[in-house]
């Protein structure tokens, strides 16, 4: 009997269903892979290393904590018995000697406690005096005494000429001029406000904890009072420095830019849960004057970057955020640390260069950083020449390899897409010897803000947010120039009241953190850094 012919319409319907099912399978597979990557990254964040070193790649024979397959991973061929038994030379390890108290407290004052025998015991039984033969050190202790808190009251003595008053009816009254206060009608002093600012913005201690600390010292200093002191001090004395730092930064050849989240509770027309931003700008590592500038904005729009960098014509190094595309006059450079981080996030568990594409991508980026490390000390022009010789072939090979990867998915696709989309900016360093290949400079500058935010959580008002970025600008710029930030800030708040009382527009060039006198006075020791 002849085979029955299947109607073409039925075949078309079946083929359409097969195509739909195949698309569904591909979509669900990609979704499953994405969920697996989320679980893997959570496990890595919880149990794995926190750095981005290359130890994500497994050595031969090493097993993984999490036995999962991932993007681009294939089954590894069995290793021959002879290869399994090969030996590997391991470099010798020298342990750093344990630090002594003299090293730990090298800059701390010493007090000698000499223990002596009572006079009656310095004689023998037949009353002959004992001879002193030496002194031995038996113990060393590190001592901390409570802070000394006291109230300083200023009195002025008044003098008059009673004879002149009797003859003329007008007294010749004379009195000295009291030094200008830090804040009018306030008992705030330079030392106390410095202590409050440094503890919050350098040591990440919220004001409510400082309130408790003051109470233990016997002072009922409220957090609202301290907050007002910070705002007024920032507006009156530190804002001119913040503005001057930004003006100096815009004259430099390279600027690093980034932003981070900030919550401000009482912003007009916005909910307390709305996310604002702190925009950060930093000098290049090679700049003679190191500057860290922070600005508070209500959004992450590119207009915020344009407000600061709109007229800048140098090189701006940033991550892949498209908001920086509004900078038409500046040369944009990308961050290879971000590209490398995408490969780390895409790394399958149990990855090696032989069985995972992400591992190979990570290796390309790591080799690029190794080349940069060798070129670190070269002048700008010479480093540019060496980049053309050493780095450009590696970058070209990297992008040629990216083009060969077929239909990636999940985190692997994101890593590849990032590098391809950012190619123009990632390759900019090849033609500019004065720039770095990563944006780590400004990311490190933001870290104190991120650490502090975990403790004080938010800013209550816009005035508080603006004061915070001004304070961070001054403290972080001081640290970047090698100063002890607490000593430097205390000096500013000690001399500026008198100077600004005489002239609110008085110049402050001699107080800049890179000035020779300030460097001599407040250069931080290794123990203070």
pLDDT of residue 192: 96
Residue at token pair 């460097």 = 519
pLDDT at 41 over 70: no
Are 474 and 238 contacting, i.e. CB atoms less than 8 angstroms apart? yes
| 2 vs 430, residue with greater confidence | 430
Helices (H), 48-170: 81-84, 101-104, 162-168
Cβ-count burial of 496 within 10 angstroms (0-12 exposed, 13-18 middle, 19+ buried)? Answer: buried
- Phi, psi at residue 206, to the nearest 5°? -60, 160
- Estimate the crossing angle of helix 392-402 against helix 410-421, to 10 degrees: 130
User: For the segment 474-521, what is each residue's pLDDT rounded down to a tens digit?
Assistant: 999 999 999 999 999 999 999 999 999 999 889 999 999 999 999 999
DSSP state string for 57-75: SPPTTPPPSS----TT--P
Q: Predicted confidence band at 406 (pLDDT cuts at 50, 70, 90)?
A: confident
pLDDT of residue 47: 64
First to last CA, the chain: 94
Q: Give CA–CA dist 317/76, Å, rounded.
A: 40
**Region 408-432 average pLDDT:** 93
Strands 254-266 and 292-297, sheet pairing: unpaired
DSSP single-letter state for residue 123: B
| Radius of gyration, CA atoms only, the chain | 33
Output the CA–CA distances (angstroms, integers) from residue 331 to 220, 249, 314, 323, 383, in the order listed.
53, 16, 6, 14, 18
Among 311, 302, 209, which residue's Cα sits nearest to residue 251? 311
pLDDT of residue 71: 45
Residue at token pair 């038996």 = 138
Q: Give CA–CA dist 265/522, Å, rounded.
A: 37
CB atoms within 10 A of CB 209: 15
Q: Give CA–CA dist 514/290, Å, rounded.
A: 8
Comparing 194-203, 395-404, 426-435, 520-529, the range with the smallest average pLDDT is 520-529
pTM above 0.85, yes or no: no
CB atoms within 10 A of CB 368: 23
Are 427 and 332 contacting, i.e. CB atoms less than 8 angstroms apart? no
Are 527 and 106 contacting, i.e. CB atoms less than 8 angstroms apart? yes
Q: Give CA–CA dist 241/91, Å, rounded.
A: 50
Maximum Cα interatomic distance, the chain, rounded to a whole number of Å: 148
- The helix (run of H) or strand (run of E) holding residue 255 is strand 254-266
pLDDT of residue 348: 73
Cβ-count burial of 315 within 10 angstroms (0-12 exposed, 13-18 middle, 19+ buried)? Answer: buried
User: For the segment 299-354, what is each residue's pLDDT rounded down to a tens digit?
Assistant: 999 999 999 999 999 999 999 999 999 999 999 999 999 999 999 888 876 666 66
- Phi, psi at residue 108, to the nearest 5°? -100, 140
pLDDT at 383 over 50: yes
As given in the structure block, the two tokens for residue 321 are: 């955020």
Q: Give CA–CA dist 411/35, Å, rounded.
A: 10
- Give how far the C-alpha of residue 382 lies from the chain's centroid of Cα atoms, to the nearest Å: 30
Residue at token pair 């915020």 = 304
pLDDT of residue 172: 84
Contacts of 467 (CB under 8 A, 6+ apart): 230, 231, 233, 234, 235
Among 427, 398, 435, 429, which residue's Cα sits nearest to residue 415? 398
Q: Give CA–CA dist 300/416, Å, rounded.
A: 25
- In 3-state terms, what secondary structure has residue 395? helix
As given in the structure block, the two tokens for residue 515 are: 């000035």
Q: Predicted confidence band at 40 (pLDDT cuts at 50, 70, 90)?
A: low
Q: Give CA–CA dist 447/443, Å, rounded.
A: 6
Are 453 and 383 contacting, i.e. CB atoms less than 8 angstroms apart? no
pLDDT of residue 93: 60
pLDDT of residue 276: 95
**Region 179-197 average pLDDT:** 95
Per-residue exposure over 10-40, b if at least 16 CB sit within 10 Å of its own CB, e if not = eeeeeeeeeeeeeeeeeeeeeeebeebbeeb
């Amino acid at each position: 009997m002849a085979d029955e012919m299947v109607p073409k319409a039925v075949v078309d319907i079946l083929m359409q269903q097969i195509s739909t099912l195949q698309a569904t399978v591909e979509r669900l597979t990609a979704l499953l892979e994405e969920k697996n990557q989320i679980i893997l990254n959570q496990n890595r964040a919880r149990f794995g290393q926190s750095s981005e070193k290359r130890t994500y790649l497994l050595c031969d024979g090493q097993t993984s904590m999490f036995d999962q397959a991932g993007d681009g991973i294939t089954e590894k061929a069995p290793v021959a018995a002879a290869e399994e038994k090969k030996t590997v030379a391991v470099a010798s390890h020298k342990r750093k000697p344990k630090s002594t108290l003299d090293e730990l407290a090298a800059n701390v004052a010493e007090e000698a406690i000499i223990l002596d025998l009572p006079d009656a015991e310095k004689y023998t039984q037949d009353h002959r005096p004992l001879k002193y033969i030496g002194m031995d050190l038996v113990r060393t202790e590190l001592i901390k005494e409570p802070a000394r808190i006291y109230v300083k009251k200023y009195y002025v003595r008044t003098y008059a000429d009673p004879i002149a008053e009797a003859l003329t009816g007008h007294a010749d009254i004379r009195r000295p001029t009291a030094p200008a206060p830090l804040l009018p009608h306030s008992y705030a002093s330079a030392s106390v406000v410095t202590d409050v600012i440094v503890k919050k913005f350098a040591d990440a201690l919220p004001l409510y904890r400082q309130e408790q600390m003051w109470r233990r010292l016997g002072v009922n200093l409220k957090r609202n009072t301290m907050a007002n002191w910070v705002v007024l001090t920032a507006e009156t004395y530190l804002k001119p420095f913040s503005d001057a730092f930004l003006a100096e930064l815009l004259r430099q050849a390279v600027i690093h830019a980034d932003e981070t989240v900030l919550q401000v509770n009482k912003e007009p027309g916005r909910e307390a849960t709305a996310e604002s931003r702190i925009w950060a700008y930093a000098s290049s590592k090679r700049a003679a004057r190191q500057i860290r500038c922070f600005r508070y904005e209500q959004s992450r729009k590119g207009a915020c970057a344009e407000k600061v960098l709109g007229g800048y014509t140098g090189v701006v190094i940033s991550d892949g955020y498209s908001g920086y595309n509004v900078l038409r006059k500046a040369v944009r450079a990308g961050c290879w640390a971000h590209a490398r981080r995408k490969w780390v996030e895409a790394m399958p568990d149990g990855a090696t260069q032989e069985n995972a594409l992400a591992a190979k991508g990570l290796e390309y980026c790591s080799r690029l950083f190794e080349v940069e490390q060798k070129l670190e000390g070269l002048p700008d022009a010479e480093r540019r020449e060496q980049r053309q010789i050493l780095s450009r072939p590696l970058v070209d090979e990297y992008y040629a390899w990216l083009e060969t990867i077929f239909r990636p998915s999940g985190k692997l696709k994101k890593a590849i897409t990032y590098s391809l989309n950012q190619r123009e900016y990632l390759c900019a360093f090849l033609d500019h010897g004065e720039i770095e290949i990563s944006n780590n400079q400004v990311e490190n500058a933001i870290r104190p803000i991120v650490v502090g935010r975990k403790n004080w959580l938010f800013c209550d008002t816009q005035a508080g947010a603006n004061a915070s970025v001004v304070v961070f600008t001054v403290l972080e710029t001081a640290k970047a120039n090698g100063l002890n930030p607490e000593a430097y800030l205390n000096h500013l708040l000690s001399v500026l009241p008198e100077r600004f009382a005489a002239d609110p527009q008085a110049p402050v060039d001699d107080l800049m953190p890179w000035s020779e006198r300030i460097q001599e006075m407040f250069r931080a020791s290794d123990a203070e850094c």
